[in-house]
Structure 1
Amino acid sequence: MDDHIKVHGLSLTAPLSESPWTTIDTSQKPVLQPIVISLDIHLDINAAGLSDDLTQSISYSDVCKSAQRACINEPSALAAAATAYGLTEGIIEQCLAGIHLQISQLDVELELPKATLRAKNFLIRDLPLHTIIGIHPHERHEKQPVIVNIELFHAKDLDRSFKFNFARLERYLSDFVEASSYLTVEALASEAAKECFAWLPDPELYTMTLSVAKPAALRLADAPEISITRAFSDFHSLDAESHSESATNMIFAALALGSNLGDRFQNIELALRYLENFQTLSVANIPAGQIHVIDTSFLYETAPMYVVSQPSFINCACLVETSLSAFDLLRVCKMIEEVVGRVPSVRFGPRAIDLDIITYGDRTVDTRIRSERASLDNLEGQVVVPHPRMTEREFVLRPLKDIIPEWVHPQLNLSIRSLLAKLLLAKPAEESPMRKVMPFPDTPSSRKSSAHDIPTTKAYWVLPERHIPGHINKLFSNRTYVMATLNVTPDSFSDRHSTLLSALSYAENAVEQGADIIDVGGYSTRPGAAFVSPAEEIERVVPAVRAIRSSDDKSLSDVLISVDTFRAEVARAAIEAGANCINDVYAFSGPGYPVTEDSEEHFNEMRNLVVELGVPVIMMHSRGDAGSNKDYSMYVRLSGKPVLEGVRAELGEKVERATKGKGGLRRWKIMVDPGIGFSKSVEGNLELLRNASLLTVDAALPPLTNISKPAGRLLPYVTPRWNPLAGYPVLIGTSRKSFLGTIIMRTQPGGQTILPRSAENRDFATAAAVTCAVQQGAAMVRVHEVEGMVDVAMVASALWS
């Protein structure tokens, strides 16, 4: 027989730690709240039915009293029962203690009507949501209602210390469903279950039944419904790392930053450092929680908007992952503005720093009272996201496109990419363009002290970049910068300056002839070059840097200096001596190829050093020894440009690893170099040079390109297979390289003997390559012979702008 004694809807109160408000911690002081208990006792009632004697059965009145006693337990036992699971076990124990007959099973269902904000009770029943769902065209334009139900089954006995917050799960699930856009209910149910398992602590201990109903789908029925039961093992793509990170209840938010007073670049970096370490702010009432800056945009110089009679702004955006509420995040932003130095000013006037919350997940938040929401003049101190002015501001949308191009505005149903395109189409042709810029820090001896040891700015470059405002497509900046190559080595393939006097003479001439930066290298990367120890490399490089910095010629002592090294200890020594930039021919991975564990250690060491020193870095593509590893056949099937695709994939992966995630480099600190002459054939070098603009084009990669993503959770709102190098400034280094010598080899008249062209006799060939580099939009060219190549770059810039 299958007999039951049931009690439905027993309404009581109990002090519990569950709360519908995810930002309130009630674990230390449980709050009295209503509960609804349902009991199901599995008992053979045949004897009581035959005898009509209650002693042969169980008094449901007594059972209810037992449940009530569990809810008003002694204070000493209250801590153990403060969670819903602890209280459920207490009810089971009290009921079993009062039952004198042998029963086969006791089921207790506990509902907490006030523990969730939208679902009807604690088990997430009848959760009303709205989403894009359906295969018909009309279903793709508007969100429609769906009803979600979830029931969880735990595989093991729960102890009283276990705490589970259904309110957080409800919020997490709601955000996911309402941001989704599936064609079928089946897919929505499956992916929603997967997201729940990704969120759960110890997900392998659960099975889940999840149902999704679609009320608007049928005219003559209430709703079609899909119900599935899944376990963690059903989702092979989930692993311990992914669900543990999701379980932290973090949310992605995009912030816009701007500064037009003081050292604008230093102000922005200081604000970001405070975001990453906001608990160190020396102000009262700092909220508890976490903020991690996990991605940044490029930097842009922008003409002022609204109030035009003020200095130009430096603007950027960052993506943070935070456990703070939107309001607490706003509080932190305002604290940072005050600490960095913002003072009251006219509306839209000058400011040392401005931080605005643009998005907070996919949520719509407005903390103003409803009667005040018609105006945009009362936003101070209020959270309104998405930011109501974002669609009219290129200085917000352009940086956002760098980091969250596919984030969709919840009211407008347009992505950031689409919103920017729409704004640019309406932009007047005469309006000043936004200009991408790259700052260089001052030398350590000239830096002014600041919080977090943020370097002051020595100089910044306006970078050539193609924009499309309206119908115009042109280079707004026609400046291609020139890097002079100072090799302080005895075995370089060209221009050896192994004495300090020779090195200083070259630097003086280079600056006089128009070089923008001097690249000092102490370790030749030519094929077959002799090994140089880190100590010896430092002994070569540091004196040259110091000599330039201590020159009596101010134009020389003020020149930007780059150190050409792949070693962290050499880079640190050179920066401390006065260099402003690092040029790493192995893009952090070291000379080993293929990569090994040592390569990973090398990568992390260089990445952390660059972040610490706050200097820009040039990351070049290479595959170990410059004369080896020239096979790109694995990329042939992708397009007719296998070397180009190989460089985009391989260098792109390193740039992604360097910039994405907690503790990453700022995007504006990186310039990329395709590594012409390194592990490429003559034809491969030509392919790269003639297609250099495609290296960083803002477009999708061929569909078969396999770019590994950084370890950990993937960032949201990105386009799969999008070019990871999109938008980065490019350095092209072709000067005097052997592939040019191969192209211009000549034979003796009437004979067969090939006359090789020495490196010093390849300058005209270099000039042709530099012209092509400028035409392809290179931000900088690296040369040996400065005066002539400066002229070439200037004329080429005039031709191609």
Structure 2
Amino acid sequence: MSNDTVFINNLSTSAIIGKDAWNQASLQPIFISARLNTDFQQASVADDLKHSLNYAVLSRNILELMKINEHKNFQSLHNVAKSISRIMLDPKQGGGEQVEVIVKSTKSEIRADSVEYKLNRTRDALVSQILDEISINGLKILTVIGVFTYEKVQKQYVHIDLSLKVPSKLSISIHQIIDDVVQYVESSNFNTVEALVMKIGQLIIGKHAIDSVGVKVIKPNAIPFTDGVGVSSYMTKDSFKDLQSTQSNFPTFDENSTKNGDHTAYIAFGSNQGNQIKNIREALNYLEEAKIKIISTSSLYISKPMYYKDQPDFFNGVIQVSFKDLSPIDLMTICKEIEYERINSVKKINNGPRSIDLDILLYDDITFNRDDLIIPHKSMLERSFVLQPLCELMSPDVLHPVTAEPFHQHLAQILNSRPDETLQDSLDLLQIIPIPRLELNHEKNPLKFDQLKYKHLTLIMGIMNITPDSFSDGGDNYNMSADVIESTALRLLDEGATILDIGGVSTRPGSIPSSEDEELRRVLPVIKIIRESKNEKLSTCLISIDTYRANVAEECLKAGADIINDISMGLYEPEIFHVIAKYGCPYIMNHTRGTTQTMSSLNNYESNSNEDIVEYMIDPLNPSFNVKNWDSKVTNLINGVSRELGLQIFKAFRSGVRKWQVIIDPGVGFAKNLSQNLIVIKHASYFKRYSMTVNGHSYLTFNGLATLLGPSRKKFLGTLCNEPIARERVISTGATIMACIQQNTDIVRVHDVKEMNKVVKVGDALYKDIYERK
């Protein structure tokens, strides 16, 4: 082949090259360069152009081609380059035997300075084995990158150049490659440019079936008095073949690898059509039928739709699962079967409405790239409705397999950022506790809470004790007639109660419990009277049953109760967990120790001595949050109460209870003395932050859980204020309710609803900027 070259540089013309960054198929300026190999020795000696290739004729032929096809949509730069290569190789049009064509666009991509497609062709060679080259130049992306603290708090620009070797027969979307890289880099954190370069290469090769890629990353602002510093690398598929053995933080997984053994995965779910709770419940049941064990669930969240905004709100959450002998593709196949065959979910448009959506977020700690499945999920880092529930299931030291940054750091970044309103109206999530009776009408479910900003009403639970020995009301409600029961319940609702808490057995310290039959005789008629009332406000209100007995709970739920309020947190009758799981109802788990006869003496709280338990305080908005200046008696009490609640929650999970059913009550007055009751109220917000890891792998956080406190008329208030008669403790109760609101308590359980409603109104105005209550 000759070493002589005739070339054309940046011939300016225009073409329609598919849809641009604005999704328009419009005429774009492009620049065409061509290099043709030839032998012009004879032309040099004879000084006669007929012995060489005429670049003027070739340029004219290119311009004529583009003029003739100015209304044709070439669809891509690749197709333009192919068309030009044909006339460059046509001897009848003055072409040569070998040509290199470069077609460059400077306006079709917003993020990049230019994109180019380069091909080499010869007149007679087959092109099936030829590799062409795509260049993306000056791609500008904002991301968090660097090892210094100040680099972690503010995004900076990186400039990225990409050079991709692609088979000539392969159709590659430059738009999609740019979108994937931008989305990934902007939602990730990196300490080093080297890691960023490698992960971009891994993303492109894994997702787009490209054999090799060159990546160059420049940090223009890293070093003063330079145009920029950075690194570059040329990578092929083989570059990642041994990644698992050389970099434990970034293991890879090939679909041909063995699938045998035990695996753990995290699956996100979402639903915004039909009976959303039923869809979610059935999807989880189908997973269990496929021998996929649900280890734990997040809270349940309501989110605004993303990408396609004109659709109903979603119910979202994440589950942690374990299974044997299933590859990522096997797991995806099961999820798709549940979506499309079991629940008949239909996606008419991408990211549009669906009955159920199951997305694999993580599988063990691998990375996996295939056209139909990418692990870790490529969009998870931009979705608060995925990250927030996911971080409920993993400890703060768990790293993203690709970014090598903690998931909790990613969550904090997205929560502290402003939403892109073109994609989603709001990042804010509402935690919802489903009520089975209201599954098809969740707008009427008041158990919705904003557990980050606390911009929700404090709910009032009104107490109706149907016992002859109640400590506070002396049995006023015992043996009431149906008319009195109805009028009493309605009065509580009119005074401001959202929930009626009906108790048929006394749980005051020192009391002797009535029999199960007697408890049922007391409470079942009350439920029936309320549910059958002709007053809609009464017949549709939320009914809570204050019981620790499994059979009483089940009979009351069958009779129409909505919530079970268990003062024993499942210690007295662990079978109650099976009832809660069976009926899917809200479950208030109240901390206590011992029995009603012994609890008052069991108030010694020690520091954690179990080496298998590691404790944290987690604030989703601030991963570096830590408790300072706590006295040991405060630490021991708050952690001790939380630890004992947490271990019972683990037991509930093993019985099938979902996290979104649980409301925690730290148990004011139960196994606590006066000063301890004050500590619980004063530090109540920390119960929302408590987290624990057991045996190195079982993780639980109270993030996302609603809290209920019931200091009303308790004995410690009488001691403080010299009020021996419980009825007289109204003002002192009001003081504690105000403190509960300041501590972000979601539900307060009170006797004096009318008076406490006024306290709650003022408290919500002071601490939540809420001035009107419905």
Q: TM over 0.5: same fold?
A: yes
In 2, Cα distance between equivalents of 1:179 and 1:696 = 36
Cα distance change of structure 1 residues 629 and 140 upon mapping to structure 2, 3 Å threshold? farther
Q: Name the residue aligned to 1:337.
A: 339
In 2, Cα distance between equivalents of 1:435 and 1:315 = 9
In 1, Cα distance between equivalents of 2:569 and 2:527 = 22
Q: Name the residue aligned to 1:17.
A: none
Is residue 679 of structure 2 the alignment partner of residue 687 of structure 1? yes
In 2, Cα distance between equivalents of 1:304 and 1:776 = 31
For the residue of structure 2 that corresponds to 1:403, the secondary structure is: coil
In 2, Cα distance between equivalents of 1:664 and 1:442 = 16
In 1, Cα distance between equivalents of 2:567 and 2:415 = 37
Is residue 693 of structure 2 the alignment partner of residue 727 of structure 1? no
Give the unaligned 5+ runs of structure 2. 1-190, 199-241, 251-258, 609-630, 769-774
Cα distance change of structure 1 residues 689 and 586 upon mapping to structure 2, 3 Å threshold? same
The structure 2 residue matched to 1:616, chosen from 586, 593, 596, is: 586
Q: CA deviation at 1:441?
A: 2.8
Is residue 405 of structure 2 the alignment partner of residue 414 of structure 1? yes
Is residue 467 of structure 2 the alignment partner of residue 485 of structure 1? no
Q: CA deviation at 1:260?
A: 1.2
In 2, Cα distance between equivalents of 1:585 and 1:640 = 22
Cα distance change of structure 1 residues 555 and 277 upon mapping to structure 2, 3 Å threshold? same
In 2, Cα distance between equivalents of 1:433 and 1:513 = 35
Q: Name the residue aligned to 1:393.
A: 383
In 2, Cα distance between equivalents of 1:419 and 1:648 = 26
Q: Name the residue aligned to 1:378.
A: none
The structure 2 residue matched to 1:272, chosen from 263, 278, 284, is: 284
- Opposite residue 426 of structure 2, the aligned amino acid is S
In 2, Cα distance between equivalents of 1:778 and 1:175 = 48
The structure 2 residue matched to 1:797, chosen from 764, 768, 773, is: 764
Q: CA deviation at 1:342?
A: 1.3
In 1, Cα distance between equivalents of 2:434 and 2:765 = 26
- Opposite residue 347 of structure 2, the aligned amino acid is P
For the residue of structure 2 that corresponds to 1:366, the secondary structure is: strand
Q: Name the residue aligned to 1:715.
A: 697
The structure 2 residue matched to 1:365, chosen from 365, 368, 378, is: 368
Q: Name the residue aligned to 1:89.
A: none
**TM-score scaled by length of structure 2:** 0.60
Is residue 722 of structure 2 the alignment partner of residue 742 of structure 1? no
Q: CA deviation at 1:631?
A: 3.1
User: Contact 1:438–1:462 at 8 Å: present in 2 too?
Assistant: yes
Q: Name the residue aligned to 1:326.
A: 328
Cα distance change of structure 1 residues 335 and 743 upon mapping to structure 2, 3 Å threshold? same
Cα distance change of structure 1 residues 178 and 422 upon mapping to structure 2, 3 Å threshold? farther
In 2, Cα distance between equivalents of 1:519 and 1:179 = 56
Q: Percent identity?
A: 35
Cα distance change of structure 1 residues 735 and 138 upon mapping to structure 2, 3 Å threshold? closer
Cα distance change of structure 1 residues 544 and 640 upon mapping to structure 2, 3 Å threshold? closer
In 2, Cα distance between equivalents of 1:641 and 1:769 = 21
Q: Name the residue aligned to 1:281.
A: none
The structure 2 residue matched to 1:654, chosen from 648, 661, 667, is: 648
Residues 476-508 of structure 1, C-alpha deviations (whole Å, 9 max, x = no match) = x23111111111111111233112434332211
Which deviates the most, 300-309 or 262-271?
A: 262-271
Q: CA deviation at 1:429?
A: 10
- Opposite residue 352 of structure 1, the aligned amino acid is S
The structure 1 residue matched to 2:600, chosen from 614, 617, 628, is: 628
Q: Name the residue aligned to 2:115.
A: none
Q: CA deviation at 1:424?
A: 2.6
The structure 1 residue matched to 2:667, chosen from 675, 681, 686, is: 675
**TM-score scaled by length of structure 1:** 0.58
Cα distance change of structure 1 residues 175 and 611 upon mapping to structure 2, 3 Å threshold? farther
Cα distance change of structure 1 residues 664 and 447 upon mapping to structure 2, 3 Å threshold? closer
Residues 96-134 of structure 1, C-alpha deviations (whole Å, 9 max, x = no match) = xxxxxxxxxxxxxxxxxxxxxxxxxxxxxxxxxxxxxxx
Q: CA deviation at 1:415?
A: 2.2
Cα distance change of structure 1 residues 763 and 179 upon mapping to structure 2, 3 Å threshold? farther
In 2, Cα distance between equivalents of 1:669 and 1:509 = 28
Q: Name the residue aligned to 1:664.
A: 656
User: Contact 1:440–1:580 at 8 Å: present in 2 too?
Assistant: no
User: Contact 1:520–1:562 at 8 Å: present in 2 too?
Assistant: yes
Cα distance change of structure 1 residues 138 and 427 upon mapping to structure 2, 3 Å threshold? closer
Residues 712-741 of structure 1, C-alpha deviations (whole Å, 9 max, x = no match) = x7537x5xxxx7434321101011111111
- Opposite residue 629 of structure 1, the aligned amino acid is S
In 2, Cα distance between equivalents of 1:693 and 1:771 = 13
Q: Name the residue aligned to 1:459.
A: 445
Q: Name the residue aligned to 2:145.
A: none
Cα distance change of structure 1 residues 532 and 672 upon mapping to structure 2, 3 Å threshold? same
In 1, Cα distance between equivalents of 2:196 and 2:347 = 43
Cα distance change of structure 1 residues 317 and 442 upon mapping to structure 2, 3 Å threshold? closer
In 2, Cα distance between equivalents of 1:732 and 1:645 = 17
The structure 1 residue matched to 2:478, chosen from 480, 492, 498, is: 498
Q: CA deviation at 1:633?
A: 4.7
Residues 74-117 of structure 1, C-alpha deviations (whole Å, 9 max, x = no match) = xxxxxxxxxxxxxxxxxxxxxxxxxxxxxxxxxxxxxxxxxxxx
User: Contact 1:586–1:621 at 8 Å: present in 2 too?
Assistant: yes
In 1, Cα distance between equivalents of 2:265 and 2:307 = 26
For the residue of structure 2 that corresponds to 1:583, the secondary structure is: strand
User: Contact 2:272–2:356 at 8 Å: present in 1 too?
Assistant: yes
In 2, Cα distance between equivalents of 1:642 and 1:770 = 24
Give me the CA root mean square deviation.
3.1
For the residue of structure 1 that corresponds to 2:600, the secondary structure is: coil
Q: Name the residue aligned to 2:754.
A: 787
For the residue of structure 2 that corresponds to 1:688, the secondary structure is: helix
1:255-266 to 2 correspondence within 5 Å? 255-266=267-278
In 2, Cα distance between equivalents of 1:175 and 1:530 = 65
User: Contact 1:440–1:581 at 8 Å: present in 2 too?
Assistant: no
Residues 590-637 of structure 1, C-alpha deviations (whole Å, 9 max, x = no match) = 1xxxxxxxxxxx32x122221111111000111124552343252398
For the residue of structure 1 that corresponds to 2:445, the secondary structure is: strand
Residues 420-447 of structure 1, C-alpha deviations (whole Å, 9 max, x = no match) = 122233334986243332334344xx99
In 2, Cα distance between equivalents of 1:178 and 1:508 = 69
For the residue of structure 1 that corresponds to 2:506, the secondary structure is: coil
In 2, Cα distance between equivalents of 1:633 and 1:667 = 26
- Opposite residue 337 of structure 1, the aligned amino acid is E
1:306-321 to 2 correspondence within 5 Å? 306-321=307-322
In 2, Cα distance between equivalents of 1:768 and 1:695 = 20
Q: CA deviation at 1:658?
A: 2.1
In 2, Cα distance between equivalents of 1:404 and 1:567 = 33
Q: Name the residue aligned to 1:557.
A: 539
For the residue of structure 2 that corresponds to 1:635, the secondary structure is: coil
For the residue of structure 2 that corresponds to 1:730, the secondary structure is: strand
User: Contact 1:437–1:460 at 8 Å: present in 2 too?
Assistant: no
Q: CA deviation at 1:675?
A: 0.4
For the residue of structure 1 that corresponds to 2:410, the secondary structure is: helix
- Opposite residue 262 of structure 1, the aligned amino acid is G
1:145-164 to 2 correspondence within 5 Å? none
In 2, Cα distance between equivalents of 1:309 and 1:142 = 35
In 1, Cα distance between equivalents of 2:564 and 2:701 = 21
- Opposite residue 306 of structure 2, the aligned amino acid is M
User: Contact 1:257–1:315 at 8 Å: present in 2 too?
Assistant: yes
Residues 682-741 of structure 1, C-alpha deviations (whole Å, 9 max, x = no match) = 11100110110112225x67xxxxx8x3xxx7537x5xxxx7434321101011111111
User: Contact 2:344–2:355 at 8 Å: present in 1 too?
Assistant: yes
User: Contact 1:587–1:654 at 8 Å: present in 2 too?
Assistant: yes
Q: CA deviation at 1:386?
A: 0.9
The structure 1 residue matched to 2:393, chosen from 383, 403, 407, is: 403
- Opposite residue 463 of structure 1, the aligned amino acid is F
